[in-house]
Every structure is written in structure tokens, then in C-alpha cells.
Amino acid sequence: MMRKYLFLFLLPIATLVKAQTILEDQFQFNFLALNPAMTGARETFSLNGMFGNQFNGTLRPQQIYQLFSMDGSIQEGRGGLGLQAYNSNITGFNNAGAKISYAYRQKFGDLFTVALGADAGFIYQPTIVTGQGIKQMFPYAGLGGLFSTEQFFVSISKPVLFISDGLFNSKKPLYTMLGVSLGEMENVMLNVSGLLESNKDTKANFFITAKAWFKQKAGFGIVYRSETAFGSKVNKVIPMVEFQLGNNFRVGGSYDFKPLAYPTSSSAPSFQQRGIFQLYLRYEFLHEDSSNSRMKYY
């Protein structure tokens, strides 16, 4: 009997957990999460860390997720290899995952580049609906394509194309993204991208990212998000900033004033999170022949 009531209580929370794909949701500093074909597209090897923090009234913020990504070009620029991992404890429910990605690129002179990519990974999280909180691993795989020029790109991808469902029913969105880079890199450069997230049986989500860079040293931007979650439409703007410290190191941050409100039950009010500050750290391994692609500044 107790297990029955526990099941009914945790069922909406299970809906919350199945919707958490933190790598894709927090993409503003990591387009690689959306499309494996972007692996190595920046043409240098880099390490990236993203850390989500909530301020709870004390001097020490509570860290609720950690994201890690690394990728670079291989095969003399014809391929790219990447690794991503995350650990999330949003609203107290822990889930983690990792994936590897590979992309093959074909350059057509100085005109454009076409890339095809694939990823494979796993999600590790509790099977809450059993009432036992036992964690299981759910493997998945996905595909993506990328068409790019020096100042423009088109991206189509499905990073979760196949998944071993079990009790986990992940989103399997189709991402369509366009990006354009304007201005001079050495002076003022404006990078704008639009993303359409399409999910079966749900309304599409739309995102716009715009970032202005000044002499490749300081970047100021916003992310406009229009998305539907748990039956509610949410429109919000997330500000972000980046600073290039020397040739190799970059630090940045974004602040989500209005995180998604998660339902606690069908009749109870929603649980509203505090704002989330994301710290971004990046280190690039450069050499004399390293490219300075505009893809680094989206």
C-alpha cells in the first residue's frame, strides 16, 4: 500500500526527471551538445567547463550541475573527436551522463564545408517510478549534419535518435539551427543564431542567441528562449558575458532569472527555483598554425 502511494506522489516528479536533458537545455556556451557534426568545427582543441549555481541567501552558492566538454580536430582537419559529460542535481534529483562524438568534414576550397557527425552515450539516473530509487543506465545514439561558410552555418541534428528506454522516456528533439556572423573580427563582430527545437506531440520551442564581440576580447550577449514546459509557455531573456584572458583562456557567465517551475503534484502549486548563475571556463590548446574561426565566438 505504501508503495502505491509513493508511486502516485512521485509520478509527476518522474515527469520532471525524464524532461531533464541538461546538456541540451544549457547550450548557450556549448553548441556541441546540440549537434555532433560540430565536433572540431572550431578547429582547435579546447576544454570547457560550465557550472550552474543557485544563491540561497548565504555567501556560498549551491552548485546544482556541472557540465564538461572537450573537442578538437583530427585527421589534418578532416575529422573531429569530442567528449561531453554532466552531473545534475536540479531540485534534488541526481542524474548524470556522458557521450562521445565524431564528425567527418569535407572542405570545398574556401567556399564552404560539409560535416556529418554521430554521437553515442548514456544517461544514468534513478528509476523513480519503481518506488525504490534504483539507478539504471540508458544508452543512446544520435546523428547530425552541418553546412558552414566563413560567416554562415546551417545545422540539423537529432542527438538522441535511438535510446534504450526502459522506464526512461527521454525527449528526442530535432534541432534546426541557423547562424550568421557579421562585422570584422579585429574590431566589432556580431554573431546571431536561431534554434528551433521540434518534439513529437509537443509544441516547438524557439531560441535566439545574439552576441557582440569587441576586438575578440569581450563578448556581451543575450539568449531569448520561448519554450513550453509542463503545459506552460515560458518566454524569457538570459544575459551572458565572456572575456578572453590571454590567447588560451576564456571566462564567462550567464544568469537565468526565471528557471522553469516544476510541478509538485496535479493540484499543488509549482515549485519555483531560484535564479541560476552559470560560470563558464574554457581553455584552448593553441599552436602556430591554429585557426581563428568565427565558430569560436557564437
What confidence tens digit (pLDDT) does each residue in 74-100 have? 998 899 999 999 998 876 667 899 999
pLDDT greater at residue 169 or residue 17: 169
pLDDT at 45 over 90: yes
Residue among 128, 118, 117, 60 nearest 93 (CA) = 128
Mean pLDDT throughout 155-165? Answer: 87
Grid cell digits, residue 220: 556581451
Considering only CA atoms, give the Rg of the chain. 20
Domain that holds residue 262: 2-297
Distance CA 154, CA 148 (A): 6
pTM for the structure as a whole:
0.86
pLDDT greater at residue 260 or residue 206: 206
Grid cell digits, residue 54: 543557485
Grid cell digits, residue 64: 546544482
Q: What is the CATH number of the domain that holds 13?
A: 2.40.160.40
What total of structural domains would you count in the chain?
A: 1
**pLDDT tens readout for residues 111-140:** 999 999 999 999 887 665 544 556 788 899
